[in-house]
Amino acid sequence: MAHAMNTAAATPPVAIAPRDFRRARHIKRNVKLHSQIRDLITANPACRYIGGNFAVEAIAARLGFQPHDLAITDVKIGRRIITLICVPHRIWDRAFPSAKCIDLRFQARQEGHAAILVPQAVVEREPRLGNSQLLARTANIRVDATSRMAVLAHLIDN
């Protein structure tokens, strides 16, 4: 029994492969990209965030994309529903993966989706992103007229 405990204690801990760290980083960036897209869409009163498009995500999976590779979402502008395919830098800046994105857009349009490719750089452009994030965080705050006047007076004085 004592011998078994010594061998168990001598076993080195299992190291996590660099690929797993990379995958976790890609998932985290994809979640952040989805959040940024949602903030940009909700900041514009003419647009409405709908959510993911499972049909286009299935096409992406057929083309070899992982679920965390692209941020695919639907937006309603007026009466039209447009599918945004947001492409991270690591895919957009390489020839073969970006060609697969163009093929994805083509196939999505063939199936009747109004698909648009959007590079991550367009989503993260400042000051638009910062302003939209501020608007998204304050969307549910109601300010009465007295408070507005107090803020306006403070801004005029300073």
Percent of the chain with pLDDT strictly greater than 70: 89
Provide the pLDDT for residue 6: 54
Based on DSSP, count helices (H) and strands (E) in the chain, helices before strands. 8, 4
- Give the pTM: 0.77
The ranges assigned to domains in the chain are 27-138
| Structure-token pair, residue 97 | 């993966």
Going by DSSP bridges, is the β-strand pair 80-87/114-119 parallel, antiparallel, or unpaired? parallel
Give buried/exposed letters for 111-134 (b at 16+ CB in 10 A, else e).
eebebebbbbeebeeeeebeebbe
Q: What is the pLDDT of residues 17-52, one digit of tens each?
A: 777 888 899 999 999 999 999 999 998 889 999 999
Query: What is the spatial distance between Cα 1 and Cα 7, in angstroms, rounded to a whole number?
Result: 10
User: Residue 96's pLDDT band (boundaries 50, 70, 90)?
Assistant: very high
